[in-house]
Structure 1
Amino acid sequence: MGTDSHTQIRQIAISGYYGFRNSGDEAVLLSILLALEAEGKAQGVTVKPIVLSVDPERTSRTYGVEAAHRMRPADVLKTLRRCDGLISGGGSLLQDATGAMTIPYYTGIMKLAQLLGKPTFAYAQGIGPVNRRWMDPLIRHVMERSKYVSVRDAESAALLGRIGVPADRIEVVPDPVMGLPLPAVEAATIEGASEMPPVIGVSLRRWRSDGADLVRAAEALVALSRRRPVRLRFLPFHTPSDTETSEQVMERLRGRLGDGSSAELAAPGDHPQQMLLEVSRCDALLGMRLHALIYAAGQRIPMLGLSYDPKIDQFLNRLGLTPIGTTEQLDAEAFADAACLLLEQRTQWQDKHKRAIDLLIDQSQKPAQQIVHFLRHTISR
C-alpha cells in the first residue's frame, strides 16, 4: 500500500478454539477483534481479520468478519498465504490436559505461517499444563520465531522459560476478556428490585468423573440458601455440557433450598456479550469456569472461585484472592459464610479490588497495540 497511514490495510489470521460454542473462548475472540479494531483506528490501519473456526459460517455471521475452516488444510493454507500475519490466541491453547493433539495443532498452524514467511504473534496465551516433555521443543520452536509473545499470567511465562524461551521475549498481560465491554443495550429497571433476593451467578463445569465436586457445590449452595433467601442463576458457559451439568446440580437442589430461595437456568444466547450481560446482573458469583470469573471481575461483581485448574488460582491471585475451594474440597458452611459476607459488603469488596481490576482492564489492550504497531511499521505490501 501507499505511505498514507489512512490507506493501510492489513489482513491478519486468528487461530484459537473458535466456533465450539464455548462462551469464554468466543469472548476471547470478540475481545481480540474489538481491540484490533480500536488500535487500528488509533494507529491509522484498517485491520481485516480472518478467523480460523470449526464453524466459519456461524463465526462470520456472529462477528461480521471473514472466517475459514480450521480443520481443512487447504482452507488454512489459503488463508495464511493471503494474510500479513497470524495471531495465535488467546486462551489455554498450548496445554495437553485436553489431549495429545492440542499442542501439535496450534504449534503446527504457527509453524506453517512461519514457513510461509508470515510473522506470528502469541496473544495472551495461557501455557500449560504440559505433561508430555516431547512437546516442549514444539512450543519453544514457534515461540522463539514469533515476532511478539504475550502470556496471561506469570506462571505461563515461567513455564515458557523452563521450556527454553528467553524471558526477555515474553510479555505478561491480562486475559483479553478483561477488556470486553457490555453490549450496547439499556438494562431494564425492575420495579421493586431492592425487595428481591440477591442474584448469585453459578458457573459450574463437569470435572471429576464421579461428580463428587458437583455434589459438594450443591451442598454449599443449599447451605447458603438456608442462611438467607437467594436467587441462584446458573450460567452455562459451554453448551451443551454446562447446561447438562447445571441441570444435574439444580435437580440436587430441588426441594432443599431455604425459604424464599430459588434456582433457575439462564439461556446462554449466541453472543458472548449476552453472557457478560447476565454476569453483570448478578450480585455475586460462584465461578468454576475461568471466564466466568473474568467476566465478574470486569463488571466488578464480587466472586468466589472454585478451582479445578491452576489457571483459576493464577487469575484470582492477580486480584489478591484465593479459591473458596477446589474440586477435591469445599466446605459448605465456609462457603455460606463467605458468600453472605460478599453480599453484605459488596461495595467494600468493589472498593478494595478496584485498582487491581482497573489495571488489568487497561493492560488487556497491550497485545493489540504491539501487533498493530508491528503490522503498520514493519510490513510493506
Structure 2
Amino acid sequence: MQRTTILISSPLEEEHVARIRAMDPKRLEVLFEPGLLPPTRYRNDHGGAPFQRDAEQAQRWDALIRRATVSWDIPKAQDLAKMDGLRWIQATSTGVGQHVRRLGLHDRDVLVTTARGSHAQPLAEFVFMSLLSHWRGLSHLQAEQRAHRWERYCQPPVAGRTLVILGAGDLARGSARLAKALDMHVIAIAREPSKARAHDDLFDEIVPPGALHAALGRADAVLLTVPHTPETERVIDAAAIAAMRPGIAFVNIARGQIVDEDALIGALRTGHIGFAALDVTLVEPLPSDSPLWDLPNVLISPHSASTVLEENERIVEIFLHNLECWLDGRQADMRNVLDKALMY
C-alpha cells in the first residue's frame, strides 16, 4: 500500500500532530521536525519568529520537502519549487487566494483547501467588541471614571441600527448572527444575491455589488468580510466613503487592499467616519509612521482578531475530514476547496 506523506511545514503543537498521525498510520507518513521549523511567538503562530536554518538543518529540510505529497500549510516559494510530488495543501488561513496566485500555484496541479469556518466566531467577537465599545461609549465611561465624575447621560440603543456587510459568506455569517441577537437590521452585499446559503435567514436583505453605495447610505456600521480579488480591490474608495452616513462605524476583518487607505484616513480625520476598527491594513505590519496609529477614533488589531487558543484544533478538524476524503478517493467531499479562478 502506497502511503501518503504529509509534511508539517509550519509550527503546529505536538498534540495536533499526534492526532494527524493516529488517523490512519498504515496509509499515512507524517514528517514533523519541530527543530527545523521557526520558533513560535504565541500559540497558533503559523509564521513563527525570524529563523535561519544552518547548513545541516537546511539539508535535512530539503530532504523532507522533496518527499511530501501533502503539506500542512502553504510552503515557502523556494520550497515549493522543489516539491515536485506535492498534490495537496491544507492552508491555515481563509483568504489565501492572492498568496496562492503570487506563488504560481494557480498554474500547478495542486489542490488547495482553506481554513474557512474556523475563524468566524472569534472575528465576530472582535467586530462586536469594537462596535459595542464605540456605540455604548466605553471611552467616555473610562474617562469619567478616571475623573471620579458621576454624571448621567443618554445614548441611542444598538437595537434597530443597520449593519451593512460586504460579503455573505462564513465571516459574514458569524457577525450577522450576533447582530440579529442585538435586533439589528443586516444587509449583505453579495456577488450572487440569489445563491442559496444555509444562513440566509440571518440577513434581512441581500443585494448585489451594484447596490453598494445605496446600502452604505443606510448603514450605521459597515463591515468588510470579502476576500481580496481583482473585483474587491479598493472597492471601498473615496466615492464609497462619501456615500456613507457621517459618523458611521467601520470595521475591516477582510484585507487592507479592499480599502483606499488614504481616503479612509482622510474620512477619519474629518469625522465622516466616526470610528474604525482595523484588524488588517494595506501594509502589514502597519508602519510606525502610519497616521492610523495615533488617530483617536481608530482601534488597531495586529491581524490577530481570529487567533484564539482553539484555532489549530479547529483547522485540524477540517484537515482530518479532508484527509479521510483524500485517502478514500472522495475529493468531491472535501471541504473548503479553493477556486483558483475566483481566488476564494
Same fold (TM over 0.5): no
Q: TM-score, normalised by structure 2?
A: 0.38
Q: TM-score, normalised by structure 1?
A: 0.35
Greater helix content: 1
